[in-house]
Chains A and B, each alone.
Chain A
Amino acid sequence: MNLHIYLGLLHQGEQTLAKSFRQVSEGHGSEPDVHFLCQSLAQQCDHHEKLLLPIVQQYGQDSSADEPERLHAEGLSKTRSGPVGLLRDLQDLYLLASLVDVTWTMLEQAGQALRDRNLLAVVEHCQKETKVQRRWLQTRMKQAAPQALIVAS
């Protein structure tokens, strides 16, 4: 069984996403809505990690050696500045959130085949929130894009 590889991937994905949300929260705190909201979304990711724990205990997780490095997504190392910087950072968050989202989908598929109700319940709860995170990022980017790309200096 290779489920542990995906559990490792997901675990790490949520961790990276949480860290990146916190980074954007700090780095773009002057935006009126970004600071507190990204903090809340980071907390959501923390919570997902916690909900994953019993599943990880059951199936194990692979966070190191034999999993190919390139499966991991890099988090944001530091935030960019200015209007276009904000847009790029949000877009990075969007990519990370999308990776997490689709990883949940894979886990759901496995859960269906295993008929593991607990696993499915965790997926259902967490993935719903991940999808909202993606939708918020999209809403926010759509709002920021015209100003950043056309009139910002």
Chain B
Amino acid sequence: MADRITDIWGTRTPFAGGDEWPTRVDFALEARLTEDDIDHWVQSACVLCSNGCGCDIAVKDGLMVGIRGRSADRINKGRLGPKGLFASWQGVAHKDRLTRPLIREGGHLVETDWDTAMSRVVARSKELLASKGPLSHGFYTSGQLFLEEYYALAVIGKAGIGTPHMDGNTRLCTATAASALKETFGADGQPGAYEDIDACDAIFLYGHNMPETQTVLWSRILDRLAGPTPPKLVCVDPRNTEAARYATVHLAVRPGTNLALMHALIREVLKNGWHDPQYVTEHAIGFDELQEAVQEWTPEAAAEICGVKADDIREAAWIFGTSSTVLSTVLQGFYQSSQATASSCQVNNLHLLRGMLGRPGAGLLQMNGQPTAQNNRECGADGDLPGFRNWGNQGHIEELASLWNVDPGVIPHWAPPTHAMQIFRYAEQGSIDFLWVSATNPAVSMPELPRIRKILSKPDLFLVVQDLYLTETAQLADVVLPAAAWGEKTGTFTNASRVVHLSDKTVEPPGDARADLDIFLDYSRRMEFSTLDGRPLLTWDGPESAFEAWKDCSRGRPCDYTGLSYAKLRGGSGIPWPCNEENPDGVTRLYTDGNFPSAPDYCESYGHDLLTGAAVEPESYRAQKPDGRAWLKTAPYHPPHEEPDDDYPFRYTTGRTAFHFHTRTKTARSRTLNDAAPRMWVEISVEDAQDLGISEGDIVRVSSRRGVIEAPARVSGVRPGTIFAPFHYGYWDASGGGTPELAWRVTAPTAMANSTRRRQTS
């Protein structure tokens, strides 16, 4: 096998459009071991990005010693990328793992037992519920737990306590994916599938640096590109990324100007009559408004704003407008930029205009950044209601109440669920006094870090942190709960192609660490949350019974799991939802008949104004009779709130590398990966580096109006006027500054850079 650190995407297995993607089995074992030495293999799927590659974990003497891609799995056909190969089974066994619960005594965290730790959590929780009520409680989770765990958390928060203050770090990136899907189609759910790569004639990557973020998915594209009928590739990204090297057209737009580009693409498609008027009339609402909104956006007008060539915009529009099948994928470059939802909706609109949905190769994926972000949304541990139900729809609230056998009044539905940043704002103001953070590290990953750290350190905020390691956030906690990692617990999760995988327990967690599900169930039991007839609210005894309960909750909803079971998920490939009696093998593509989940009684949301977020009232939604048609929604382009000026002449943008994931709590503990991308850097263009006298490896200081980072420079293909920094690097191992210090409320800010005239020393 190739050296998969230098050769990230592995050996090519070319194939032609319409054929099946060939199998290629990747594996890694501990040095000196061969397959013959392995005691047994346990089925799982990789949780280090949203791709969800099926795999088997090698076990020897009760330890994880290797990994192998599952050839039968539709997602990866045996492949694994460097993170899956080198960080999944190696990362979790690290010596830094938490093994005992910790409580704060005299200002210090000291080890204790579960009973003491949980009693403390429950005492404070009960006390606050009695004195201030449910609005004193907030829960902040991640995109990294299993479905069963999110659902437990959702039931606890929504039916046990009754607080609207639940969100996940998913809000800071891929909540945009959910919003865009809800605004356009009426409910969440990826219309397309990874299989669309196999059949399409053109691929559009919108702000999606796929070669770094989902390496195995990119291998699939590389295999098409190496085959006899390569698809055309259009890439929208300010950086000269790996994907851009293969692009037929690379639109290196200025950060913050995506919407202007999208307007121009829509206008070109309409002007040339490449849209399908019959499909639009039958399946969409809002055509006239859309046409009017893009009227002024000639390729020249957009070219000027975006800093790209008008002819390139024309060519991209031509490719979209005339290819017989197009797959679009959208990620961070769109989600973490200004006017994120409006820009992503325009991608949906392009597909609607051409009826480019629901056929092989005609696909749309509003990607997720994190492995299980999709489940957080489905189960409602974030700002959504379980089963894509609509908080504005009284009928949906009653459905949930009768499912859980609780008073509908308990379920918070009087206003939209609280946004992550707002949860922290309430904690800052002292109206939230109890915050439970699971599987995420806000002290490193949130915007406005100094402020967030100050909030988390507040003496009157009771902070519970549940994690694998003593993260920066955990260090500030009142109670720290040691959690089991991937491979140490059983559960399911769903990737960005709606494919559900089961990950079986392989080894025991270290010390006293427990599965997140067990921790939540224990809390619920101790809090004595109960149903209307006085029975315990959560009676599940483990992941499988939690999954069975979730199936009931999902029944009849777009994410219907009723046809799935643990038994069915074992042995073969992952299975895409909806999976029910009607579709026992799952559904590869949604909306094959152009019928969307927008009916007023069924939809997940009545939608919003895309500029302000103002909610559409149920009556006015109903009055427009969507009934299965999709919404062609957009907003006027607004320049970024901060434009570069003399003091801060650069636009600042962040992204990922193929070797690390998020704040690196897992991946940095894998030596192989850490050596490949050990520390923070900033990228600057050749031209700007020359102007500022910066050369490769110089330590540069990048400052914005809100923060400063210092890191070695990489003089690269980023577009002039832009500075890029990867966002994985916190400061826990003191190898660099934390990037989010610079970012401000997830919009594209500006920055300045200068060389500190130091050379990199180590």
Contacts and interface: CB of A to CB of B under 8 A. Distances in A.
Interface string A133-153: 101101100110111001111
Given A82-B429, A132-B611, A151-B136, 17 more contacts: A30-B425, A31-B425, A40-B612, A41-B612, A135-B615, A136-B613, A139-B614, A139-B615, A142-B414, A143-B416, A146-B414, A146-B415, A151-B133, A151-B135, A152-B429, A152-B430, A152-B431
A81 to B, nearest CB: 10
B431 A83 contact: yes
Contacts of B425: 30-32
B609 A132 contact: yes
A97 B611 CA distance: 17
Interface string B596-638: 0000000000000101111111000000000000000000001
A66 B747 CA distance: 48
A32 B419 contact: yes
A34 to B, nearest CB: 10
Interface in A106-136: 132-133, 135-136
A150 B363 CA distance: 47
A45 B419 CA distance: 27
Nearest to A31: B425
B609 A151 contact: no
A32 B135 contact: no
Interface in A25-83: 30-33, 36-37, 39-41, 82-83
A147 B431 contact: yes
22 contacts: A30-B425, A31-B422, A32-B425, A33-B613, A36-B745, A37-B613, A41-B612, A132-B609, A132-B611, A132-B612, A135-B609, A135-B615, A136-B609, A138-B614, A139-B416, A139-B615, A142-B414, A146-B414, A147-B135, A151-B136, A152-B429, A152-B431
Given A83-B429, A133-B612, A136-B613, A151 B419 contact: no
Which of B132, B164, B432, B612 gathers most chain A CB within 10 Å? Answer: B612
A132 B614 contact: yes
A16 to B, nearest CB: 20
Contacts of B132: 150-151
A152 B428 CA distance: 11
Contacts of B419: 32-33
* Chain A contact patch, size range: 20 to 34
B684 to A, nearest CB: 27
A31 B612 CA distance: 15
Q: Chain A interface mostly helix, strand, loop or mixed?
A: helix
B5 interface: no
Nearest to B423: A32
Contacts of A147: 135, 426, 431
Contacts of B416: 139, 143
A44 B244 CA distance: 38
Nearest to A149: B135
A143 B415 CA distance: 5
B60 interface: no
A42 to B, nearest CB: 13
B421 interface: yes
B418 interface: yes
Contacts of B429: 82-83, 152
B454 interface: no
Nearest to B448: A32
B614 A136 contact: yes
Contacts of B568: none
Interface string A72-98: 000000000011000000000000000
A129 to B, nearest CB: 9
A36 B135 contact: no
B450 to A, nearest CB: 13
A53 B162 CA distance: 51
Contacts of B535: none
Which of A37, A82, A83, A139 gathers most chain B CB within 10 Å? Answer: A139
A67 B616 CA distance: 37
A153 B421 contact: no
B135 A40 contact: no
A31 to B, nearest CB: 6
Contacts of A30: 425, 428
A36 B747 contact: yes
A65 B425 CA distance: 46
Contacts of B609: 132, 135-136
Which of A40, A82, A143, A151 gathers most chain B CB within 10 Å? Answer: A151
Contacts of B426: 147
A138 B415 CA distance: 10
Given A36-B747, A151-B133, A143 B614 contact: no
A90 to B, nearest CB: 13
Contacts of A36: 641, 745, 747
Interface in B693-742: none
A143 B412 CA distance: 11
Given A139-B416, A147-B135, A153 B612 contact: no
Interface in B163-193: 164
A83 B135 CA distance: 14
Which of B428, B614, B616 gathers most chain A CB within 10 Å? Answer: B614
Contacts of A146: 135, 164, 414-415
A40 B611 contact: yes
Given A36-B641, A83-B431, A150 B611 contact: no
Contacts of A151: 132-133, 135-136, 431-432
Contacts of B428: 30
A51 to B, nearest CB: 14
Contacts of A138: 614-615
A147 B430 CA distance: 11
A41 B638 CA distance: 12
Contacts of B614: 132-133, 135-136, 138-139
Nearest to A137: B614
A81 B136 CA distance: 20
A39 B638 CA distance: 12
Which of A32, A36, A39 gathers most chain B CB within 10 Å? Answer: A32
Nearest to A134: B614
Interface string B402-441: 0000000000001110110110011011111000000000
Contacts of B164: 146
Contacts of A136: 609, 612-614
Q: Ordered nearest first, which 6 A-B pairs have the shortest CB separation?
A: A32-B421, A136-B614, A135-B614, A136-B612, A142-B415, A143-B415
A127 to B, nearest CB: 14
A40 B640 CA distance: 11
A11 B616 CA distance: 28
Contacts of A32: 419, 421-422, 425, 745
A83 B745 CA distance: 20
A145 B418 CA distance: 12
A132 B611 CA distance: 9
